[in-house]
Amino acid sequence: MVATSLIPAVQQQYIAIAFSHDPIMGEDFVTECVMSDMGQFAGWEPEIFISFNHGKSNDRVFLNDDEHRTLISNVSSQVVDGRLVCQFTQQIIPQIDRKNGLVWNLDKSFFIMGATGSAQPDGT
C-alpha cells in the first residue's frame, strides 16, 4: 500500500484498505498500517491493525500477540517523499478466532476502498 503525500507532513500517518460487500462505506473489514515517529533514537515504526467499519465509524478489533503474529507477518514500511509505503503479508483465510464475524475470509470478491491521512491524536 502507498499513501498520498500529506501536506504539511505529519509525524503519524495511516493508510487503510477496506474489504466491502458493496460500494458504500459501512460494515467493512479493514486492514490499516499506521506509521509513527517513535523519536530520534527509535525512528519510524509501522504497526498493522485490523478494524471494522460500523456505519461511518471505525473500531479496532483486538488481537492478542499470537493472533496478530498468525494473521499478519513480514511487516515493513518507510516514508518516501512524504508518502507512507507499507508492505506486509496477511492470511487470506485467517487461522485465528473470527471475533464474532469481524475478521473475514478474503477468498471472495470484494469492493476495495482505500483511505489515507493523519493519525495524529488531535486529527491534524
Which of 75, 76, 69 shows the shortest CA–CA distance to 95?
A: 69
pLDDT > 60? residue 6: no
29, with CB counted inside 10 A (0-12, 13-18, 19+), is: buried
Query: What pTM value is reported for the model?
Result: 0.85
Specify the pLDDT at position 85: 84
pLDDT > 60? residue 75: yes
Q: Where are the domains of the chain?
A: 13-117
Alpha helices in the chain (DSSP H): 65-71
Q: How far apart are CA 124 and CA 112, in angstroms?
A: 26
DSSP for residue 47:
E
* Band of pLDDT at residue 66, cut at 50, 70 and 90: very high
